[in-house]
Amino acid sequence: MLDMIIRQARTLNEEVFDIGIKQGKICQIAKTIEESAQKEWTLLPNQYLSAGWIDDHVHCFEEMSLYYDYPDQIGVAKGVTTVIDAGTTGAENIHRFYEFAQAAKTNVFALVNISKWGIVEQDELADLSKIKGDLITKVLNEFPDFIVGLKARMSRTVIGENGITPLKLAKNIQKEHPGLPLMVHIGSAPPDLADILSCLEKGDVLTHCFNGKQNGILDRQSNTIKSFVFDAYGKGVAFDIGHGTDSFNFLVAEKAYDANLKAASISTDIYIRNRMKGPVYDLATTMEKLAVVGYSWQEIIEKVTLAPARQFQLKGKGAIEEEMDADFTIFEFKEAAKVLIDSNGNKRSIDRQIIPLKTIIGGQVYDIESD
């Protein structure tokens, strides 16, 4: 007997099928499953199902003071089955974060900050002595299923007088661990964006890709995307949204879209302040902002499921296939007006909202937090 059957699962492509679940895994997908199950869940005609949503840039270690939140408040309660904490902790304190992460209902993974204490202070890369490759190697060996990449924040308030050096050190550490993704935060110069992108390679992730800063991808004088940005995009650097308090601008995203430069993944850079007071609020709201830019809903769903799962090599995540984890988001569209605000106060209006209804993790169904 199956543990659970989800009946009448409908994707955005209007495919309809049943899903059989056993021991937290998808074990059967068929037009109709004849076998019985301990539990059954049937979608209504206006409801859709996707692989579980993944937010690949959050800050959710609750013991920190600058950037922190609670995994289940930004995850399972919001239709998000998996979060990746983007470098809140480093090699000296990721052990403590791991303990908290294991207690969450939401799947939690981490990028380890190249600074050994993570973001305890805003300028974690101003002191190069905090970058210890041997410590990073140690925790990568200790937590191979938890740590899925490296994180380096490369902006003026973080690096002090060190310029591009921290990024070069990050790349040296990465070379010792072939295949390990590196996420790089961009913001105000120094270092210059051109210098950052020249260091990045295929498979690296550039987050805050559509920020509205002078050092971002948009040339303010010509109102076009800087030419060297296309070089990085073309060689396979993955552009990640990383909305955040100060890192998503509608105009930049629209100009990039018009130039056929699209984000590879959609993430929030959420933490308690921008969740409670905005402009982020949750992953669904960030997804709506990409819809108003012009992305199709099929693209958007792919950029919060399969794309981040591939970028960070999350086994069993991101797709509805047999033997994959039974992680799903059930959602609907609501015809209702809503005003969206970016990080710089620019507004866009929509009349169709995406509403997550249920979060399913390992075959366990959870209710969505109501507004």
Name the region of 163 (left: φ>0; alpha: ψ -120 to 50; beta: rest): left
Which regions of 14-127 does DSSP assign to beta strands (E)?
16-22, 25-30, 37-42, 48-51, 53-58, 80-86, 107-113
d(CA 14, CA 16) in angstroms, rounded, equals 6
Q: State the residue for tokens 């799903």.
A: 328
> 225 near 218, Cβ under 8 Å?
yes
Residue 128: CB atoms within 10 A of its CB come to: 13
Would you say 78 is a known binding-site residue?
no
Helix residue ranges per DSSP H, 41-164:
71-74, 94-102, 133-142, 156-159
Has 208 been labeled as part of a binding site? Answer: yes
3 is in an annotated binding site: no
In whole angstroms, what is the distance from residue 136 CA to residue 92 CA? 9
Annotated binding residue at 57? Answer: yes
For 257-316, the DSSP string reads HHTT---SB----B-HHHHHSSS---HHHHHHHHHHHT--HHHHHHHTTHHHHHHTT-TT
Of 296, 285, 300, whose CA–CA distance to 334 is shortest? 285
59 assigned to a ligand binding site: yes
Rounded to whole angstroms, the Cα distance separating 50 from 31 reads 16
Q: Which residues are annotated as part of the binding site for Zn(2+)?
A: 57, 59, 151, 185, 208, 269
Q: Which residues are annotated as part of the binding site?
A: 57, 59, 151, 185, 208, 269
